[in-house]
């Protein structure tokens, strides 16, 4: 999914608005007019980035915009998405299989293979009798993505893999990924991330987009992704959410699973002037998206210095 900020900052993103209602909904969410005249001019594509619309565009045609522009709809925008009354999904992810087995017509009978190859419909549709799955999308049902399913059906507010996502990608690492990408991905990423790189800002990467990039990786690119994002199934970050707002160094060390991992330096040149940091962990001082310096300890992997 995309965000309102993506619409504001990416010239390659345009949005098809099907009605005055959708136009008003988007303007309200943005907090400013889409067009300078603030008038809905019909079922066309609009650019929030440039405050323009194309009179010969449609839901499937970019019209006066560049052919490589991506046409979005209201439901592609995270802040505006509403779960349809009748929805369906085609996915073999275990969460979908479990949901079908719990709420489908024939409880406990749905397999990963069936959910991969058929659309699961909720509520069940009627075809002589109530049925959950079909090889095609039934009339009046709208397909949703797995990401939307997790967030709006399962109510999983934080769609994360090992607490990594949404991942905060630095502008430096974003450039490294672009430099090693193939021609087609280099163009896509340059357009999507160029604005943030220019301003030296962090970029938020969703789990869904990360997986899409991973699928296209070569062996060399996988190594870079492992270095930046961490290996899949491996979480390099520690979780301090269980601590108070003002934890002691001892309490922090306990989370790091190393006794005295961080403590007041009591010997040497910086005695009583600094903090000792255990060398079995990796320590980085990073400027976050609110322009604050943050000391981030992470687990070391083989080959890390």
Please name which of 39, 69, 43 lies closest in space to residue 55, comparing C-alpha atoms.
43
Query: Hey, CA dihedral for 86, 90, 95, 97, is it positive or negative?
Result: positive
Is residue 213 helix, strand or coil? Answer: helix
Give pLDDT < 70 ranges for the chain: 36-37, 156-163, 233-235, 301-305
41: three-class secondary structure by DSSP: coil
Omega cis (within 30) before 166: yes
Q: What pTM value is reported for the model?
A: 0.42
| Confidence (pLDDT) at 137 | 95
Compute the distance between CA of residue 286 and CA of residue 293 in angstroms, rounded to an integer: 6
Asked whether the beta carbons of 107 and 98 are under 8 A apart, the reply is no
Question: For 95-125, how does the pLDDT look when each residue is reduced to its tens digit (9 = 90+)?
Answer: 888 889 888 888 778 888 888 899 999 999 9
Q: How far apart are CA 35 and CA 228, in angstroms?
A: 39
Cα angle 174, 177, 182 (rounded to 5 degrees) comes to: 135
Alpha helices for 183-266 (secondary structure H): 183-198, 207-215, 219-229, 249-255
Q: Which residues contact 154 (CB under 8 A, 6 or more apart)?
A: 95, 99
Q: How far apart are CA 100 and CA 107, in angstroms?
A: 7
Can you give the C-alpha Rg of the chain in angstroms? 24
Residue with token string 């802040």: 79
């Amino acid at each position: 999914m995309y965000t309102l900020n993506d619409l504001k900052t990416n010239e390659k993103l345009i949005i098809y608005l099907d009605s005055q209602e959708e136009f008003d909904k988007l303007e309200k969410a943005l907090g400013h007019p889409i067009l300078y005249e603030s008038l809905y001019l019909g079922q066309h594509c609009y650019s929030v980035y440039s405050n323009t619309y194309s009179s010969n565009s449609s839901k499937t045609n970019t019209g006066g915009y560049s052919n490589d522009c991506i046409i979005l709809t209201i439901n592609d925008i995270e802040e505006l998405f509403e779960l349809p009354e009748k929805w369906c999904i085609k996915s073999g992810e275990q969460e979908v299989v479990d949901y079908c087995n719990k709420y489908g017509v024939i409880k406990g009978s749905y397999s990963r293979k069936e959910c991969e190859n058929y659309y699961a419909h909720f509520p069940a549709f009627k075809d002589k009798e109530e049925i959950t799955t079909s090889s095609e999308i039934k009339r009046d049902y709208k397909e949703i993505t797995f990401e939307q399913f997790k967030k709006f059906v399962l109510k999983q507010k934080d769609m994360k893999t090992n607490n990594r996502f949404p991942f905060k990608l630095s502008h430096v690492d974003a450039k490294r990924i672009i430099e090693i990408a193939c021609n087609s991905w280099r163009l896509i990423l340059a357009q999507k991330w160029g604005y943030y790189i220019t301003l030296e800002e962090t970029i938020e990467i969703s789990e869904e987009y990360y997986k899409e990039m991973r699928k296209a990786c070569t062996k060399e690119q996988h190594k870079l992704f492992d270095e930046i994002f961490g290996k899949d199934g491996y979480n390099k970050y520690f979780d301090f959410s269980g601590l108070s707002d003002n934890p002691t160094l001892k309490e922090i060390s306990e989370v790091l699973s190393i006794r005295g991992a961080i403590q007041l330096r009591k010997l040497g040149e910086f005695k009583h002037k600094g903090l000792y940091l255990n060398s079995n962990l990796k320590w980085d001082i990073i400027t976050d998206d609110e322009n604050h310096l943050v000391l981030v300890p992470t687990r070391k992997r083989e080959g890390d210095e």
